[in-house]
Chain A
């Protein structure tokens, strides 16, 4: 009896095995989405009032410490465009008692990774370091952030490096379109119209005094937040932070608040052509003034853009790459800043298909104004919502997400509310947002490419008047 049972068992097993041949007629079902449990943000203040946010993250023995200063290139005075960016870049070129080379050596030898950076909206000193070396590394970081020297010789070196970089931008269609598009949408007098790094003339003119003035006005504890993520507790971290940053004082009057005025919106479609003879591809950017990060339509626009050009299966990429093979890729995006940054759709397309590609761009920009089918909407919402936990994987990732809260003054509930707000987006929401934020008949069309090949076919499209933009104009 027992033997028979065993035999039966073997037989059943082999039958089960055969029955386990997978059913490939449809994709397997997906289980319930895992929920992201975000650790709490523990908020403290040092004795000088400097805000400190700590998030415990005990996976690896690393600490990420980011000092965020709520002023960036948007605070550049007119005529001194590039000063904020150069100030940030110069912070670690000599600080405290150390020269640029000594500082680099000390940081490298400790095993820390320290960078200084800025954007239109903020400046930052970021450091990643093994927790065991945090106490040794923090004084180096606070030297860089609090006691930069701005040596003249280092400024001259950086100036040459930046000017040469701008010279090299003339070689590169991708670099040229990055200069051309904002200049056309915002104009050369709006701060968003020229590179955050400045242009040759302003880079030539900046002095150590300019850098020090920018530094004094903005790098102050009442205009900064310290973000700490890693394998530590507030009890362990706060005394070290107090020692490194607690003596930092604000000088003079209150911190300057840089406000970039909202740029006037474009009114009619126009084409701008930057000639790059013999270019193997044309760089295309189509867009206008978009929205600020504070827009109540943030989640709706994430979904809208995912449908239009924010993912591989987005309409622009499917059309220009997969259907027509005009481009290696096509995409779109809302660059959200404190003030309204640009919306743009972009691709590099083969030269002889430039006009065809433009036509397809407008087919898709017009198409997003119609209701989005339910399955496409569901796919895009899932892509945004279910992919969100992946943005918190490392200590560096987590710190960058906290930066968003600081720089854009967002509530702590922003991340926990994000997934539900995406899930709640309807086709009507997308259609309403598209009607307001995507108006193809008013957008600027900027093309960098081989004029002798592309101008005729573009004219034949009759999209709007064409202006030829000399390359030199992008650098003035």
Chain B
């Protein structure tokens, strides 16, 4: 969930067909072209208040990006207060003690900047992209909302953003075809007490129930410098940027240590099957499994499997369902990597007149094929090439690089994990793919969710 979408009033109807159409194909870099090790030089230090700071210089264009991660997401919520981490994310843009309401965005836009934030199960991120000459403005604003968010106007700000977030939910979930499916998937995959069992955006009831006291407690518990990391990347001078960071963030008070989440077990001991209805023309099938957590052994293998199944015209599921048999309008397989445990999800939409049973039978055939024999070497190389390409695509922009530095810092404990991350993928063997399909994608322990035409629910 993000605070706001880039306004796209001019999108053509083309988008409809693109969304419904074929897979994204192609990559930007081949294995053969890979020679030099991929390193991103950085300077890292920790302020006395515990704030982790990572600086990276890249002078290709005169822009800088300021990227802050708070190590808190919807997994830190409790039942009855779901959607809270994301609602709070919205409040962070509404001004702080020294920044009048509305000024956060107004001052940044006047400097030519763009900014946004997003929340997922495990973290909340914020970024400001701005011309290099305005860096100090961004540091002032970030430090002020980190250190001095709450003032006497805060309760009103929460109410205002509560309505905005409810409309975000209406737009992305309630009014979106198949929008309820991921809400259902979460509750089918996880027991009610598990923090991944509710959606990041939460429920309307919980959004209404969130009080200002909740906001204040949440801020004091999680939005503390010792639970955050700050990346500044772009056209910067390292030494003077460090001085500016010290100037603006040194007086932000340290908070109590944030205890790590207790890993809760989530297992499926059989097939959980459910059918829901929605106001849609075509039925859609969702299959989901529990898989190894982010950066854990097996996580990269599942990414490669997702690629083999649904990336490009020659991928196994796309080719069978969409290209050859033409019984599906689309198919997607992906590993949703998360800190407390990941999910592997396959989604396919039936063409008019086609049944979900038939789609599921073909998907099972293809999974069985992979269970019985390892993929060919060329197929593995193609998948690896595509995986590498998405790395480089993400690194072409300085804000993509900054967010990745923060992601690695949180998940791996070091910002420059690029080469090690790539090495995980290069090390995946065809035999491991075969073994992982057998171990992690069993036919008798999974979620099977069908969304069929009807009234919503």
Contact = CB atoms under 8 A, between A and B. Distances in A.
Contacts of B392: 60, 62
Contacts of A133: 30, 32-33
A379 B110 contact: yes
B119 interface: no
A313 B10 contact: no
Interface in A310-353: 310-313, 317-318, 321-329, 331-333, 335, 344-346, 348-350
A313 B106 CA distance: 6
Contacts of A115: 26
Contact of A112 (B28, B251, B313): B28
A101 B167 contact: no
Interface string B150-173: 000000000011111011101100
A108 interface: yes
A331 B8 CA distance: 8
A6 B19 CA distance: 69
A130 B29 CA distance: 6
A104 B177 contact: no
A24 B14 contact: no
Contacts of A164: 20, 282, 329, 351-352
Contacts of B160: 322-323, 325
Contact of B280 (A85, A129, A171): A171
Interface in B167-200: 167-168, 170-171, 174-177
B60 A310 contact: no
Interface stretch (A219-227, A234-242, A388-396): A388-396
B62 A34 contact: yes
Nearest to A115: B26
Interface stretch (A207-215, A253-261, A278-286): A278-286
A393 B5 CA distance: 21
A157 B98 contact: no
Contacts of A36: 61-62
Main SS at interface, chain A: mixed
Given A62-B28, A313-B106, A393 B60 contact: yes
Interface in B3-22: 4-5, 7, 9-17, 19-22
Contact of A100 (B140, B168, B313, B386): B313
A410 B129 CA distance: 29
A109 B385 contact: yes
Nearest to B111: A30
B426 interface: no
A169 interface: yes
B16 A175 contact: yes
B177 A387 contact: no
A128 B109 contact: no
Nearest to A323: B160
Contact of B167 (A179, A328, A382): A328
B144 A111 contact: no
A414 interface: no
A394 B27 contact: no
A130 B397 contact: no
A128 B16 CA distance: 25
A390 B129 contact: yes
A134 B144 CA distance: 49
B329 A168 contact: yes
A471 to B, nearest CB: 12
Interface string A299-313: 000000000011111
A98 B28 CA distance: 21
A453 interface: no
B61 A393 contact: yes
A221 B22 CA distance: 29
A280 B175 contact: yes
B251 A21 contact: yes
B49 to A, nearest CB: 14
Interface string B364-397: 0000000000000010011001101100100011
B26 A114 contact: yes
B177 A22 contact: no
B171 A348 contact: yes
Given A196-B12, A313-B109, A350-B166, A104 B17 contact: no
A312 B160 CA distance: 16
A197 interface: yes
B13 A169 contact: yes
A296 interface: no
A382 B134 CA distance: 12
B30 A328 contact: no
Contacts of B61: 36, 389-390, 392-393
Contact of A167 (B99, B105, B282, B398): B282
A172 B16 contact: yes
Which 5 residue pairs of A and B lie closest in terms of their CB atoms, listed nearest first? A386-B112, A325-B163, A111-B30, A331-B7, A34-B62
26 contacts: A30-B137, A33-B133, A34-B131, A34-B235, A101-B323, A108-B27, A109-B30, A109-B385, A111-B389, A129-B28, A157-B323, A165-B19, A167-B281, A172-B177, A280-B171, A309-B7, A312-B4, A312-B105, A313-B102, A313-B105, A323-B160, A325-B164, A379-B106, A386-B113, A393-B60, A393-B397
Given A25-B98, A171-B177, A328-B5, 18 more contacts: A21-B251, A34-B133, A60-B396, A104-B25, A105-B382, A110-B30, A111-B32, A111-B388, A132-B33, A196-B12, A280-B175, A310-B7, A322-B164, A328-B171, A329-B7, A345-B9, A382-B109, A385-B112
